[in-house]
Amino acid sequence: MGKKNIQVQRRLGFVLLCFTIGIFFLIYRLGYIKLVKGEEYEKNAIGQQLLHDQKIPALRGGIYDRNQHTLVLNNTVYNLVLDTVTLHQFEKDEHEKTVEFLHAAFQIPKEELWEHVNAQTQKYYIVLQKQISYELGQKTQEDIKNLKIKGVWLEEDSLRNYFYDSLASHVIGFVGAGEGRWGVELQYNDQLTGIPGRNFRTFEQGNYVMKNYIQPIHGNSLILTIDEAIQHYVEEALLEAIREHEPQNASAIVMVPNTGEILAMASFPNFNPNQPGNVEHLVDSQRYNTMTQEEKTKLLNQVWQNFNITYTYEPGSTFKPMVVAAALEENIISPTDTFYCEGYRMVGDRRIRCWKRNGHGIQTVEEALANSCNVAMMDIGAKMEKEIFYRYQRAFGFGAKTGIDLPGEQDALGLIHKQENLGPVELATSSFGQTFNATPIQVLTAFTAVINGGHLVRPHVVKQIVDSNGIFIQENHTEFRKKVISEKTSKQVREALEAVVTQGTGKGARIPGFRIGGKTGTGEQGSRTNPEERRYILSFVGFAPVEDPQVIVFVILNRPKDTLMGSTMVTTLSKKIMEKTLPYLGIQRTEILEEMEMQEPIVNDYMDLFLMDAIQDITSKELQYEIVGSGSTVINQVPKPGTKVPKNTLVYLYVTAGDTQEVVVIPNVVGKTQEEALTILKQQSLVPTFIGDGERVEGQEPKAGVRVNEGSEVMIQLKK
């Protein structure tokens, strides 16, 4: 019995000894870990906790029109995130469940998912998919919660949404890599961009981890001067003109003359900011498939350019009102002065022609503007001399940027003649808008100073800036850059410019009941000696009402396919914009003019006009016409210009053909189907333009039997 107790005691002692040794070993290891490796392990443990640093995106500010209609806004989207550190805290079957869920819900390959799950280094933040729609994100969050999916969560993000696709695309611009790339998106990028927030952990004194959350500061929003409705009017009219005339470029600007606020600005071709890198709409599919990436990039860079502020051209006759205004202001001429145009003026040994080869005869200042007489402008320029001419050219803003709040405005300093280089020939040609260049926005801003009382305003497209709480933090007020001419001079030129529309080259812009003034312009491009290489840029500036201008419209068609219609192309375009814009802005018709519309019409001067220009004016006066001769240029007329005649009076137009063009007879297509008319006219090398909706031809202009140049346009009225 005693022997057995001794054995038990020995065993217990051995166990106790082992236990004691074990405790001492553990104490030793803990001490070793704490004292020798403790700092290293502690840093590693804390480091793993600190890995969770989540960026909370700030919303980019919205963009609104002047009436606070939404144009651009950020939509909430989600990024799908995999957290393999958290996932590995669970059993293998949870891994399988997570992989199956992600594969089924988002079609992510299982191989890709298992690579993340089985990686040697696990991560808290692996983005699997970006910009998941709000609806799908909400559903996914519910599924994760209901199915108890481990290691998956959704990060909130935002996606820029341009509500009207290409509407005002050159003004608005687009965003790339989170930054503005063009338009106001670039110009006001610092205002639109917010400051991201953070959700992260820090190691605090006392060896513990603190969770931190920094609220994002959302970007400010822009309220533009653009009016969504007027922008629609402009773009619809431009698209119609593009389909009819196929210009290389087309653009339009609508502005408030007294403030410089841009109500609409459009440039074609344009782009969709939701897909700014897409050029498929610009070329046919066959061409697109053969384009290199370099060619696509070059095309995109051209399309992204805003024609209104980057393109330079010879302004032509739209510059003439500035010359007249400067001469009147300096008392160099008076409204009663007259000039004689015989079709050209000799400047030194050089003959410089007027556009009307047989001359305008005696012209008053008003008639010189109405008829766009180059010789009268040369005479006025010569009287001014180069010092005064150059001073006013600069005062009206030529040779300098306008300061519009859009990126990419062309630096125009080298686009005009220096004063010392203004010889007699340069002064003569500059006086009617040739041999120097300007941008469309420069021409419009200068023209505005002529009609608004003489103030050169800074054009702008942003009206106000508001913060994310809707509080106004900045307002762009009207900025007068300088006073150029007096109110008296401005009034005199305004009234003279009304004659351009009532009886001059801008008749196509007339709208019954409204007092409209304006000026046409034709800039010549390419060879001036070779007609085959000659191209034109047609423009028109119109404003209303004449007595107190509330709106000004500038339209341009650059290198239209067919120039036989002349300025009618741009005056008609301006009229279509004005017909909708004036009533929309609440501008009332003038009763006096409505009474005048009831009076007997006066025959205008059609000599040297394109045939279609003359026909359009004749029919608008409810007169009849008959063509005598062959061709598309009017060389004589009966009755004479200025004759008052009853409605339905027959006006005879004597025409001649161009030097290098064939003459064809216009066939009768009245009563034919649209398809039949198209076939017949094309066989005669004529260009049909269809008006109205319907299947059969109700009327045509010019009438059947008229002999015109090949390639002439025939207006076809359709009815159902």
The residue ranking higher by pLDDT, 541 or 121, is 541
Give the model's pLDDT for residue 594: 47
Identify whether the C-beta of residue 712 lies closer than 8 Å to the C-beta of residue 686.
yes
pLDDT confidence of residue 558: 93
Helix (H, G, I), strand (E, B) or coil at 421: helix
Chain centroid offset of residue 111 CA: 47
Angle formed by the axes of helices 134-147 and 92-106, nearest 10°:
150
Which band of pLDDT confidence, cut at 50, 70 and 90, is reported for residue 288? Answer: confident
Question: What does the pLDDT read at residue 593?
Answer: 47
- Locate 427 and state its tokens: 């002064």
636 against 675, higher pLDDT: 675
- Of 26-35, 454-463, 512-521, the poorest mean pLDDT is in 26-35
The set of residues, in sequence order, having a beta carbon less than 8 Å from that of 423 and lying 6+ positions away, is: none
Q: Side chain identity at 154, as an amino acid letter?
A: L
- The full DSSP string for 84-139 is HHHHTTS-HHHHHHHHHHHHHHH---HHHHHHHHT-SS--S-EEEEEEE-HHHHHH
Is the pLDDT score of 81 beyond 90? yes
Q: Mean pLDDT throughout 14-37?
A: 69
Q: Is the pLDDT of residue 551 over 70?
A: yes
Q: HSE on the CB side for 113, CA within 13 Å?
A: 23
CB 241 within 8 A of CB 575: no
Q: Quick one: CA dihedral 630, 633, 636, 642, positive or negative?
A: positive
Q: Is the pLDDT of residue 566 over 50?
A: yes
Give per-residue pLDDT as tens, 158-214.
Answer: 889 999 999 999 999 999 888 999 999 999 999 999 888 877 666 555 556 566 778
Which pLDDT score, from 0 to 100, does residue 627 have?
80
Neighbours of 357 (CB within 10 A): 12
Q: What is the pLDDT of residue 661?
A: 55
User: Taking all residues of the chain, what is their mean pLDDT, rounded to a whole number?
Assistant: 86
pLDDT digits (tens, 9 = 90+) for 456-499: 999 999 999 999 888 989 998 889 999 999 999 999 999 999 99
How many angstroms separate the first and last alpha carbons of the chain?
A: 128
Select the more confidently predicted residue: 689 or 586: 586
Q: Which of 159-163, 181-185, 375-379, 710-714 has the lowest mean pLDDT?
A: 710-714
Instruction: Judge whether 92 and 231 are in contact, CB under 8 Å.
Output: no
Return the CATH architecture of domain 54-163. Answer: Alpha-Beta Complex (3.90)
Please state the three-class secondary structure of 470-513 as a single string: CCEEEECCCCEEEECCCHHHHHHHHHHHHHHHHHCCCHHHCCCC
pLDDT, greater one: 647 or 79: 79
Percentage, residues of the chain above pLDDT 70: 89
pTM reported for the whole predicted model: 0.76
Tokens of 580: 């909708």
Residue 273 makes CB contacts below 8 A (sequence gap 6+) with 72, 160, 162, 165, 166, 169, 172, 173, 174, 175, 185
Predicted local distance difference test score (pLDDT) of residue 50 = 47
Does position 372 have pLDDT exceeding 60, yes or no?
A: yes
316-327 burial: b if 16+ Cβ within 10 Å, else e: bbbbbbbbbbbb
pLDDT for 573:
95
Residues known to be catalytic: 317
Q: Which two tokens stand for residue 40?
A: 């290293």
Q: What share of the chain is helix, strand, coil (3-state, %, to 5)?
A: 40, 25, 35
pLDDT at 357: 77
Q: What is the pLDDT of residue 30?
A: 66
Are β-strands 126-132 and 70-82 bridged in parallel, bridged antiparallel, or unpaired?
Answer: antiparallel
High-pLDDT (> 90) share of the chain, %: 52
Say which residue the tokens 């008052």 belong to. 644
Identify which of 19-23, 218-222, 658-662, 700-704 has the greatest average pLDDT. Answer: 218-222
- What is the pLDDT, as a whole number, of residue 139? 94
Alpha-helix residue ranges (DSSP H) falling in 285-319: 285-290, 293-304, 307-310
Ranking 51-60, 316-325, 363-372, 552-561 by mean pLDDT, the lowest is 51-60
Token digits for 211?
């969770």
What does the pLDDT read at residue 520?
93
**pLDDT for the residue numbered 375:** 94
At residue 297, the pLDDT reads 83
Task: 43-46: list long-range contacts, CB under 8 Å, 24+ apart.
Answer: 46/203, 46/207, 46/209
Residue 543 confidence (pLDDT): 97
Q: Do residues 84 and 115 lie in contact, with contact meaning Cβ atoms separated by under 8 Å?
A: no
Tens of pLDDT, residue by residue over 253-273, are 999 999 999 999 999 999 999
Mean pLDDT along residues 326-335: 96
Compute the distance between CA of residue 636 and CA of residue 638 in angstroms, rounded to an integer: 7
Q: Report whether 504 contacts 608 (CB < 8 A).
A: no
Tokens read off for 446: 């200068």
Strand blocks (E) in 170-301? 175-176, 179-180, 197-204, 208-214, 221-224, 249-255, 262-268
Tens digit of each residue's pLDDT (9 = 90 or more) over 397-412 = 999 999 999 999 988 7
Which of 107-121, 375-389, 511-525, 620-634 is predicted least confidently?
620-634
Q: What is the pLDDT of residue 287?
A: 80
pLDDT at 527 over 60: no
User: Given a cut of 80, is residue 25 above it in pLDDT?
Assistant: no
Looking up tokens 């609409």 gives: 264
